[in-house]
């Protein structure tokens, strides 16, 4: 991988809006970062100047439009709640891009992005940079699904699954994956990109193994430094513990050890 | 004229008092691009042990108010690989290198110190007798007798700068410090993390797989400051301060309390340039007051009782 120098600057919020009752989107201009960020990479966000909350919060790059970076997020705790209360014109400190990227040089494969909830985020950016043939998105209910308008400009086929059946297929995202496998016929042609909660990753990887499908997963762990210094965000691989933030977050299925 | 920031401990002159705390600065240039390693007063490595250590299971970290808990468990590749693979990286940097070591027995510490004593790239050895996250981690720091034994045995095999890193959890803290001074330590690093715990109330499980973790960050700064001051009040021995140092003001508090150097730890995770900002802040503080050297600030706290 080419070595790029990450940047860390205060940026001004352009827009901070609610897309659904669960999903929000914040955007800001950061030309230097927009130029060097690649799909799968994340940034570390300081939401408050006063170091409270103390650690930065990691977020994936959701979309890049010229100089503007967009982040898709949900409110889960103090940091994300404070972020949701930020108004246009307020500031955030952003450090990035961090981590590795999805494999972009695959040929003659059917690219299937599988996102659980907000885990769909990196695949919109991926879809901006290479063909993604299927976007599979799972959520508890339709509030957790990305609105159609957010897929504008992307050509891949969208298949939604909700646990309560309020939108798309009823069930888990693996049901959507099964549908794709049936549709394509030859599972070996598929290549998966997966991001989402641990349980979902495990279920998808188990299916991939069963059908002999290759792919890679973004392994998101709690982070402190985000640059490989604290050894807090480890992922179990066949080659021992690796840092999610620096060696990942993207790991090939082949390298992962799932308990 | 630029103020003189240099600090002398034993026979080593550090170009300034700003260093990093063990385990918070990576092991092979993770902070390059953020920090000019040549501008640091010293570089302190993550703890190195005799054998490779895989570290503790996940989860290993948890954020707390004004800080974090960690239970990394001294993950490292062991002394052999450290010497073979990491030393070459540090040899290119002219900043004094301090290697932090830990063992499960006196013999381990002696063996590690001996191996390092032959390396010209290594300026000093920091004895971690205060890690809360591994079995026996705090044993040597718990009793003055054991602390004396490990420090004096290491002293007998290395002429290098010898720093002992102490824990606030020692029941007889000043007794341990006194024992280490008698055993020949050249300096102290104070403090290591303080053991803490957090529980997930939904799962009713500890937040860390190791159950306990070391608390670090601004939450422990007042405690660290008190210990640094207590050591300096009783003993004429250099102290490298650690504990929640995030900005210039924090660093100056420790220097005014008597610290020779200030080690930036957890703050590196939040502000990768923290060391550089603190360094220029200290320079500015001296400059604005027309002070010629950091010696005019160190240990100048005015206490009336
Ligand atoms: C590489 C990476 C990319 C991410 N991308 C996105 C994204 O694009 N959109 C989005 O909504 N979320 C994303 N997350 C999760 C996001 O970081 C957390 O939701 C956020 O940190 C929660 O902070 P909080 O203060 O609201 O929650 P709290 O629970 O109060 O946070 C407490 C601590 O736990 C950490 N934490 C809590 N939940 C998570 C989690 N799920 N993953 C990692 N750390 C967590 C926080 O960072 C903080 O250190 C990503 C996580 C990682 C590791
Ligand atoms: C993630 C992490 C890893 C650490 N690893 C070590 C270590 O390997 N050896 C050691 O002596 N101290 C270790 N420490 C303790 C620090 O060096 C320091 O003494 C302590 O964190 C207090 O300083 P701070 O509040 O500025 O971080 C670690 C601390 C953290 C947060
Ligand atoms: S978050 Fe510190 S090593 Fe990954």
What is the domain count for chain B?
A: 1
- Tokens 């998808």 identify what position? A204
Looking at the structure, do residues A143 and A228 belong to the same domain, yes or no? no
Q: Confirm whether B79 is domain-assigned.
A: yes
Q: Check CB contact of B32 with chain A, cutoff 8 Å.
A: no
Report if residue A104 sits inside a domain: no
Range of the domain at A143: 110-215
Domain CATH number, residue B259 = 3.20.20.70
Q: Determine the distance separating the centroid of ligand 3 and the alpha carbon of A99, expressed in angstroms.
A: 10
Per-residue tens of pLDDT for chain B, all 305 residues: 789 999 999 999 999 999 999 999 998 899 999 999 999 999 999 999 999 999 999 999 999 999 999 999 999 999 999 999 999 999 999 999 999 999 999 999 999 999 999 999 999 999 999 877 776 777 788 889 999 999 999 999 999 999 999 989 888 999 999 999 999 999 999 999 999 999 999 999 999 999 999 999 999 999 999 999 999 999 999 999 999 999 999 999 999 999 999 999 999 999 999 999 999 999 999 999 999 999 999 999 999 87
Contacts of B30 in chain A (CB under 8 A): 225, 227-229, 246
Q: Are residue A127 and residue A188 in the same domain, yes or no?
A: yes
- Domain span at residue B48? 7-56+70-196+216-296
Shared domain for A182 and A147, answered yes or no, is yes
By most ligand atoms within 8 Å of CB, the mutation choice from A60, A69, A73, A77 for ligand 1 is: A77
* B301 located within any domain: no
Instruction: Indicate whether residue A229 lines ligand 3 (CB < 6 A).
Output: yes
Assigned token pair, B93: 């940097």
A244 in the same domain as A211: no
Is A8 within 8 Å of B34 when comparing Cβ atoms? yes
Q: Distance between CA B181 and CA B183 in Å, rounded?
A: 5
- Domain count across chain A: 3
Contacts with B214 from chain A: Cβ below 8 Å = none
* Residue A2 included in any domain: no
Residue A233 in contact with ligand 3 by CB distance below 6 A? yes
Q: Which residues of A touch B77 (CB under 8 A)?
A: none
A224 vs B33, B54, B269: nearest CB? B269
CA of B200 to the centre of ligand 3 (A): 22
Q: Does residue A142 sit within a domain?
A: yes
pTM flag (> 0.90): yes
The DSSP annotation for chain A comes to: ------EEEEEEEEEEEESSSSEEEEEEE-HHHHHH--TT-EEEEE--TT--S-S-EEEE--EEETTEEEEEEE--SHHHHHHHT--TT-EEEEEEEES--------S-EEEEEEEGGGGHHHHHHHHHS---EEEEEESSGGGSPPGGGGTT--SEEEEEETT-SSSEES-HHHHHHHHHHHHS-GGGEEEEEES-HHHHHHHHHHHHHHT-EEEEE-----SSSSSSS--SEEEETTEEEETTTT-SEEEGGGB---
Q: Is residue A171 part of a domain?
A: yes
CATH of the domain at A198: 3.40.50.80
Q: What is the dihedral of CA B78, B80, B84, B86, to 10 degrees?
A: 20
Mean pLDDT in consecutive groups of 10 residues from the start of chain A, 259 residues: 78 97 97 97 94 96 97 97 97 97 87 96 96 96 94 94 92 94 91 96 95 95 97 96 97 90
From the CA of A230, give the closest atom in ligand 3.
2
> Are A168 and A92 found together in one domain?
no
A122 with A173, same domain? yes
Same domain, A81 and A126: no
Q: Does the residue B20 lie in any domain?
A: yes
Verify whether the Cβ–Cβ distance A229 to B268 is below 8 Å: yes
Q: Which of A44, A74, A98 lies at the terminal end of a domain, its last residue? A: A98
The best mutation among A228, A235, A251 to test binding of ligand 3, ranked by most ligand atoms within 8 Å of the C-beta, falls on: A228
Question: Are residues A116 and A206 both part of a single domain?
Answer: yes
| Any ligand 3 atom below 6 A from CB of A234 | no
Is B180 a catalytic site residue?
A: no
Interchain CB contact of A229 with B (< 8 Å): yes
Same domain, A114 and A207: yes
Which of A49, A70, A98 is the last residue before a domain boundary?
Answer: A98
Chain A segment 22-51 residues within 8 A of B by beta carbon are 46, 51
- Tell me the β-bridge partners of B127: B101, B164
Are A235 and A252 in a shared domain? Answer: yes
Task: Confirm whether A103 is domain-assigned.
Answer: no
Residue A157 and residue A210 in one domain: yes
Does residue A168 sit in the same domain as residue A211?
yes
């Amino acid at each position: 991988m080419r070595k790029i120098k990450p940047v860390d600057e205060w940026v001004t919020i352009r827009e901070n809006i609610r897309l659904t009752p669960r999903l929000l989107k914040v955007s800001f201009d950061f030309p230097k970062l927009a130029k060097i960020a690649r799909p799968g990479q994340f940034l570390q966000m300081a939401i408050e100047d006063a170091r409270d909350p103390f650690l930065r919060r990691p977020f994936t790059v959701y979309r890049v439009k010229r100089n503007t970076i967009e982040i898709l997020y949900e409110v889960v705790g103090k940091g994300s709640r404070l972020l949701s209360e930020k108004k246009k014109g307020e500031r955030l400190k952003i450090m990035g891009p961090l981590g590795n990227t999805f494999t972009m040089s695959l040929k003659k494969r059917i690219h299937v992005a599988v996102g659980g909830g907000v885990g769909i985020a990196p695949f919109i950016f991926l879809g901006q940079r290479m063909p993604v043939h299927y976007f599979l998105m799972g959520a508890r209910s339709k509030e957790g699904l990305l609105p159609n308008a957010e897929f504008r400009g992307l050509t891949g086929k969208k298949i939604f699954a909700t646990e309560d059946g309020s939108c798309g297929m009823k069930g888990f995202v693996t049901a959507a994956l099964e549908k794709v496998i049936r549709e394509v016929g030859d599972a070996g042609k598929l290549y998966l990109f997966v991001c989402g909660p641990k349980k979902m990753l495990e279920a998808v990887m188990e299916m991939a193994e069963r059908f002999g499908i290759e792919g890679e997963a973004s392994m998101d762990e709690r982070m402190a430094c985000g640059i490989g210094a604290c050894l807090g965000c480890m992922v179990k691989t066949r080659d021992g513990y690796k840092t999610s933030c620096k060696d990942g977050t993207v790991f090939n299925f082949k390298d992962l050890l799932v308990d | 004229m630029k103020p003189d920031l240099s600090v002398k401990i034993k026979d080593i002159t550090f170009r300034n008092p700003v260093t990093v705390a063990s385990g918070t600065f990576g092991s092979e240039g993770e902070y390059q691009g953020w920090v000019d390693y040549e501008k640091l007063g010293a570089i302190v490595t993550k703890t190195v042990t005799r054998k490779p250590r895989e570290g503790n299971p996940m989860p290993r970290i948890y954020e707390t108010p004004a800080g974090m808990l960690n239970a990394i468990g001294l993950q490292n590749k062991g002394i052999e690989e450290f010497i073979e693979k990491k030393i070459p990286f540090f040899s290119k940097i002219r900043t004094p290198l301090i290697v932090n070591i830990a063992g499960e027995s006196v013999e381990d510490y002696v063996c590690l110190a001996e191996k390092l004593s032959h390396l010209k790239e290594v300026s000093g050895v920091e004895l971690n007798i205060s890690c809360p996250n591994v079995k026996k981690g705090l044993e040597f720091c718990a009793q003055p007798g054991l602390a004396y034994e490990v420090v004096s045995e290491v002293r007998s095999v290395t002429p290098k700068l010898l720093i002992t890193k102490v824990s606030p959890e020692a029941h007889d803290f000043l007794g341990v410090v006194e024992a280490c001074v008698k055993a020949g330590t050249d300096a102290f690093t104070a403090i290591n993390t303080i053991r803490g715990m957090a529980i997930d109330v939904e799962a009713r499980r500890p937040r860390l797989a190791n159950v306990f973790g070391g608390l670090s960050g601004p939450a422990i700064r007042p405690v660290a400051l008190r210990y640094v001051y207590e050591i300096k009040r009783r003993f004429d021995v250099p102290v490298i301060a650690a504990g929640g140092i995030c900005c210039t003001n924090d660093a100056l508090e420790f220097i005014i309390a008597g610290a020779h150097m200030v080690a930036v730890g957890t703050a590196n995770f939040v502000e990768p340039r923290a060391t550089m900002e603190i360094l220029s802040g200290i320079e500015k503080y001296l400059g604005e007051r027309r002070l010629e050297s950091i010696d005019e600030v160190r240990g100048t706290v005015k206490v009336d009782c």
